[in-house]
Amino acid sequence: MEPISWNCIIAHAITAFSSFSIPILIGVFFAKTKATIPSKFWLAFLLSGAFVLFCGFHHFLAIFEPHMAVSLLHLGVLDLMAFISLFALLYLMPTAYQILEAIAKSQEDTRELQRGQQMQRLFLQGPFLAYIKDEQSRMLYYNQGIQSRFSVDSQQWLGKTDSEFLPNPEEAQRVMENDQIVLKTLQTLKVIEEVKIPGNDQACYWLSFKFPFTDYATGDRRIGGISIDITESIEAQRSLIDLNRQLEEKTLKLEAKKQELIYLSDMADILYSCQHCYSGISKAAVKIYSLF
């Protein structure tokens, strides 16, 4: 067989193999990724796939008929391929703009999602603690604030409850009880929680906002939380209370001294009055005595 004929056969074989493989790969891709096609583009998708498959049949039959007259089967495949290609072209012409719009919208949605994710990451890097727990109070996510404040990495606490990583069992139990209140009431809970840093006995106070939400991917309940360190404010408030108490004690002491001074002043007045009375009586006695 001449080299030209072999070249033709090999070219038809490669083209047929590619034409059959492309729809299969696209089908596997959609099956694995569970991607969906808008319903208004289904016909265009099927027509394009059918056109590619019939192109494959055409080239597959051409392998066996390099020098023979075209068979009725081959002719039928060519006619169907021509009809489908023409129908696909006529259908795709008015919908091409819609497809381009859908692609542009998808790209814009992707950019918007990326911007949203970037803003979310920047927000979660703020000077507060942010976390997500499941219904059993197991940690599913925590931000860099928790990692830096408690000296843990991004995976160390995942899947654990507060009782597994907090040093004080009673504090951990109170935190988990607050989580359950959120799940039962399905309301945002604002609470001050005392949670010590592992390895540090100093008390730390956190103003926590805990709220329930639903994981739409699984349908499970989740607990979201944001906590702010208010230890300095609590300590300042306690210092102010101590100062007020000391001031009240000093005020009471001053009031007692004032009452003592008033009492002494009254006693002095009484003594002074008694002294004048004694002098008057003495003079009267002298006069009476002189008369006799």
Taking only the tens place, the pLDDT of each residue in 23-79 is 777 677 667 666 666 676 677 777 777 777 777 777 777 777 655 555 566 556 656
pTM listed for this prediction: 0.52
Residue with tokens 């101590």: 242
Distance (Å, whole) CA 238 – CA 245: 10
Q: What does the pLDDT read at residue 139?
A: 92
Sign of the Cα torsion 6, 12, 15, 21 reads negative
Contact between 9 and 66 (Cβ < 8 Å) = yes
Which residue has better confidence, 174 or 284? 174
Q: According to the 3-state scheme, what is the secondary structure of the chain?
A: CCHHHHHHHHHHHHHHHHHHHHHHHHHHHHHHHCCCCCHHHHHHHHHHHHHHHHHHHHHHHHHCCCCCCCCHHHHHHHHHHHHHHHHHHHHHHHHHHHHHHHHHHHHHHHHHHHHHHHHHHHHHCCCCEEEEECCCCCEEEECHHHHHHHCCCCCCCCCCCHHHHCCCHHHHHHHHHHHHHHHHHCCCEEEEEECCCCCCCCCCEEEEEEEEEECCCCCCEEEEEEEEECHHHHHHHHHHHHHHHHHHHHHHHHHHHHHHHHHHHHHHHHHHHHHHHHHHHHHHHHHHHHHC
- Look at 46-55, 105-114, 207-216 and tell me which has the smallest mean pLDDT: 46-55
**112-163 tens-digit pLDDT:** 877 766 766 666 666 788 899 999 999 999 888 888 888 888 889 999 999 8
**234-272 tens-digit pLDDT:** 888 888 888 888 888 888 888 888 887 887 777 777 776
Banded pLDDT at 209 (limits 50, 70, 90): very high
Distance (Å, whole) CA 206 – CA 201: 15
**Angle made by CA atoms 189, 191, 195, in degrees to the nearest 5:** 125
